[in-house]
Structure 1
Amino acid sequence: MAAFARSYTSDPVDVIISDYMSEVNMTIGAARKVDSTHLTPDMGNAFVGAGPAFEASFLEALEPALEDLGRYGIKVAANAGNADVQGLYKIVVEMVRKKGLQDKIKVAWISGDEVLPAINEGLKNGSSKFKNIYTGQVLERWEFEPIYAHAYLGGMGIAEAFRQGAQIVICGRVADASPVIGAATWFHEWKREDFGRLANAFVAGHLIECSTYVTGGNFSGFKSLEAADRWVDIGYPIAEISQDGQVVITKQKNSGGTVTVHTCSSQLLYEIQGPWYFNSDVTAVLDQLWFEQLGPDRVALHGVQALPPPPTTKVGITARGGFQAEAWYFMTGLDVAEKARMTEAQLRHSLKRYSDKLTTLSFSVLGTPGVDADNQNAATCIFRVFAQAKELKDIASGKFLRPVIDNIMQSYPGSTFHLDFRLGIPKPYFEYYVTLLDQAKVSHVVHFNGRETLIPPPTITNVFAERQPSQPSTQLQVDLSKFGPTERAPLGSIVNARSGDKGSDCNCGFWVAREDEYVWLKNLLSVSTIKLLLGKEYDESRVPKLEIERFELPNLRGVHFLFRNLLDRGATSTSTVDFLGKNCAEFLRARYVDVPVRFLARGRL
């Protein structure tokens, strides 16, 4: 933030947006907001963390930027308020005052995202069952007690705050892209029915919401950055949005990283769930989208289609799930599978008198020892034991950690456990339930200069089917033998991919650089093929059931998959180490398929 503000004269921006919210810190913020006195200080607070219910790191970013923000009049919109928006607002106002900038910098805050009372009222009067959008479960049958509910707000409150003269707008759970929608609506004086323009701003917001993800971070083509000496100090992105909604993505001058069609494709495919992309203000339709490289680090967005927003908005409900702990052993060299089987059998026996109280007990091997490795670290992998229980006493150290480490003398050759036992100390975890709430039930309010302005819900909406359009295989089938001789090789030899989490779901998008490669890719990657590539991750006995949805993005040369319930119950309670789903793409890229030799000769990008 300070770098953007300081560089205004040579690299000007009108608005700096900051997206701080994720499902992980939403649950932590919620737990900090509500009464947690039933948790013992050494157990509960060790995980929840002593601290505010807002994102304190926003203050670290804002404080050194304030003088330049005041000097150049740059506006700021941030959803760092989490579960205590007013609390963060008061601190920012005081910070501005201490720097003597109160006459220049005016601060507003947005309320309305705290909706647990509306959820409870809806349950009481029977107006909604509040079905979980991932699992189909209804809220009254959820076995956990809600403690907090965040609604995802749109950008119209931010636009109104800017219109009234605010320079900094503090928000809670506005959707990730809502600050960009709000900024563009204010700047260009758009109307709420300008859906085409709003949809472009929405996609622009999605592209830059994760900061350096669109400039080379978390990018499967990352090796290309090394050749250009751009691995270090990957620059932050800038979205240029015109009056008619045209979008160009670029980045800070004199920084590392890059902005290309491929980095933009990577971020576009991140955390979407189908061709319909929902926000409280607009629905963007993505399947005809494409990017154009205008020049170095300048990419234009094209082909976004628009529909009105749904009448509902997403709500994330937090509950205390129980407690969890884990322990690690190191296994080296030969016979790792047999060593793991032996250890699991021994530990199941040792834990047998306690395990009936555990809700989860899992054993897994992380990694594979290198073949004929020339150093011991490369020959070592991790054996992980993970457990959850509803009650602290049922997973206390004497009932989990101690039996696990006491097994060492009878275990496999070279048996060694990790000496950092902190992971084995029980800590609370949270359950997260995602549902929909009528936007008319949300009291979306701008607080500025002693007045409150209610932001009404959209008057034009569109009701969508519960499931997005899905196509199990490509419509026009082509015999894969027509692409010539093949070689067994990793899919990622020529295919880029990107994945991420949304509640219990994981998405994964694949794309290639050339048209003939796309014809091959969309014919190869059917739902049936992706099940084979998922291997043991595709478990038909999983509850809730793992379902797969697919759609194509022909102008992006991409194929997108949604893996419903792959992440168990979501990032805050899943037993998998890939709790954010970010490594699913890299796992699938490493799977071997028959790749046309002529494609391999070209390279990936």
Structure 2
Amino acid sequence: MTHSAHPAPLRVGNASGFYGDRFSAVREMLSDGPLDVLTGDYLAELTMLILGRDRLRDPAAGYARTFPRQLAECLHLVAERGVRVVTNAGGLNPAGLAEELRRLARREGLGIPVAYVSGDDLLAHPGAAGRESWGEGVLTANAYLGGHGITACLRSGAQLVVTGRVTDAALVSGAAAAHFGWDPGDHDRLAGAVVAGHLLECGAQVTGGNYSDFTAHDVRRPGFPLAEIGADGSAVLTKHPGTGGAVTTGTVTAQLLYETGPARYLGPDVVARLDTVRLAQEGPDRVRVHGVRGEAPPPTLKVGLSRLGGHRGEVVFVLTGLDIPAKAALVRAQLTEALAERPPARADWELVRTDHPDAATEETASALLRLVVRDADPEAVGRRIGAAAVELGLAGYPGFHLTAPPGRPSPYGVFTATAVPQTAVRHTAHLADGTRVAIPPPPHTATPPA
């Protein structure tokens, strides 16, 4: 990327807040207005479990399969406009996604350079630090990397950059550092870009989606956001003109506080001080974010561990009319007795009072009694539970029926987090020309105060 004494703001957009977000957002963000960089966040904790199960079935899987299809619709637009695309859609297999994108570019006759970042997948390294403490059954183990690998890829000339598990904000801070020439010690600038990245990462959630004051604006189809990031790390949050939703200090504050805890927002590259963030409404759909201070990052990286926790089954009983609590107690007693010989490891009952007094219809006179069972053995939460419930059809409470026939049990996952030293991770940038660049840990770290 080019640099000047007074560089113009870097326009960074977002087209995905999760795996399954609006499919057309990539095309919309590229066609509805100018961008320098387009990012996409696909990796929630649950997504890592889903991708882990995909990889069990097919070692070549493990990445967000929707992303190549989204990009295929508008790859020529990416090439024509010179937009850099940075995404963590690589999931557990960034190399595999990068190769698929190369095939896509060749098929379209485009010479778009593709690079990717690796090192987050600790299962790929049998000697990974702390592995002995993970316990049994770990399906995925991924460190949350920072943005310096992305920076290296972009500085080498890559136009498409794929990562695995990086912090959501790293997609933006890594691109900003590449554009403005920041180094790892530029803590205030990096912190500003991290805050901008955090505001962008959940897509339409910062443009009015999921916002408590949703009646104040037309949020039927909110546009996806973008940030105009300055060389000092400050930013203006906005969206393409004419798109739905709104960008206000209220929507920005709501996203700023989303999934954050103390004032020190810890990241692998920098600690952003959220208590220094200042917001100002500069105009319609334009909020200036400035004043962010940064501190040296911690010496450790967060590691997300996912494992299969067992199998889960569910039955929902419909209770109609009078004596709802007594009917619920009867069902519970009957099921408990029927399963006494081999009860599930865990059974959770919940009575949801959706019924109304003197209701005009059967539906509005009905409550729901939900039974959720969990066990390591799928048989313990499968047909036995369903059969025991159905057998009460003519021998239970008056008006017995279920919302649906009992289904097959499904596996469920458990997510936990641990930490490893930053020095223990093999953060690597795989450049478009095939060169590998080792990304060193931050030169200065500091343990944040408790």
Query: TM-score w.r.t. structure 2 length?
Result: 0.89
Residue equivalent to 1:70: 79
Deviation at 1:378, TM superposition (A): 3.7
| In the alignment, structure 1 residue 100 sits paired with structure 2 residue 125 | no
Residue equivalent to 1:114: 121
| In the alignment, structure 1 residue 215 sits paired with structure 2 residue 240 | no
For residues 399-441 of structure 1, the C-alpha deviation after alignment (integer angstroms, 9 at most, x for no partner) is 222112222323233221022433xx12222222210011111
Distance 1:336 1:247 in 2: 55
SS at match of 1:353: coil
Residue equivalent to 1:411: 396
8 Å CA contact 2:205–2:255 kept in 1: the answer is yes
Deviation at 1:273, TM superposition (A): 2.2
Distance 1:51 1:446 in 2: 20
8 Å CA contact 2:122–2:128 kept in 1: the answer is no
| In the alignment, structure 1 residue 241 sits paired with structure 2 residue 229 | yes
- Uncovered stretches (5+) of structure 2, i.e. residues with no partner: 1-25
Deviation at 1:168, TM superposition (A): 0.5
Question: In the TM superposition, what are the counterparts of 1:116-515 in structure 2 within 5 Å?
Answer: 116=123, 120-123=127-130, 139=133, 142=135, 144-225=136-217, 230-355=218-343, 358-397=344-383, 399-422=384-407, 425-448=408-431, 449-465=433-449
Distance 1:113 1:367 in 2: 46
For residues 236-295 of structure 1, the C-alpha deviation after alignment (integer angstroms, 9 at most, x for no partner) is 001111011111110121111111111111111111122221111111121343421111
Deviation at 1:316, TM superposition (A): 0.9
Distance 1:382 1:269 in 2: 34
For residues 32-86 of structure 1, the C-alpha deviation after alignment (integer angstroms, 9 at most, x for no partner) is 22469xxxxxxxxxxxxx9931111112221112010000100000000111111
Residue equivalent to 2:37: 15
SS at match of 2:391: helix
8 Å CA contact 2:139–2:306 kept in 1: the answer is yes
SS at match of 1:216: coil
Distance 1:415 1:205 in 2: 52
8 Å CA contact 2:271–2:296 kept in 1: the answer is yes
How well do the aligned residues superpose, as a CA RMSD in angstroms?
2.1
SS at match of 2:221: coil
Distance 1:367 1:443 in 2: 53
Distance 2:446 2:288 in 1: 28
8 Å CA contact 1:330–1:381 kept in 2: the answer is yes
8 Å CA contact 1:248–1:299 kept in 2: the answer is yes
For residues 287-324 of structure 1, the C-alpha deviation after alignment (integer angstroms, 9 at most, x for no partner) is 34342111111111234332111111111112222111
2:69 to 57, 60, 67: 60
Deviation at 1:121, TM superposition (A): 4.2
Distance 1:375 1:224 in 2: 34
8 Å CA contact 2:43–2:88 kept in 1: the answer is yes
Distance 2:395 2:60 in 1: 43
Query: TM-score w.r.t. structure 1 length?
Result: 0.67
For residues 555-578 of structure 1, the C-alpha deviation after alignment (integer angstroms, 9 at most, x for no partner) is xxxxxxxxxxxxxxxxxxxxxxxx
Distance 1:426 1:168 in 2: 40
Figure out how many residues of one structure are paired with residues of the other and give that number: 424
Distance 1:383 1:90 in 2: 49
Deviation at 1:162, TM superposition (A): 0.6
8 Å CA contact 2:52–2:140 kept in 1: the answer is yes
SS at match of 2:101: helix
Structure 1 counterpart of 2:397, one-letter code: Y
SS at match of 1:354: coil
Deviation at 1:380, TM superposition (A): 3.4
1:2 to 22, 27, 35: 27
Identity in percent: 35
Query: Closer, same or farther in 2 for the Cα pair 1:162/1:326, shift >3 Å?
Result: same
Q: Which moved more, 1:113-122 or 1:254-263?
A: 113-122
Query: Closer, same or farther in 2 for the Cα pair 1:379/1:282, shift >3 Å?
Result: farther
Q: Which moved more, 1:318-327 or 1:450-459?
A: 318-327
Query: Closer, same or farther in 2 for the Cα pair 1:348/1:254, shift >3 Å?
Result: same
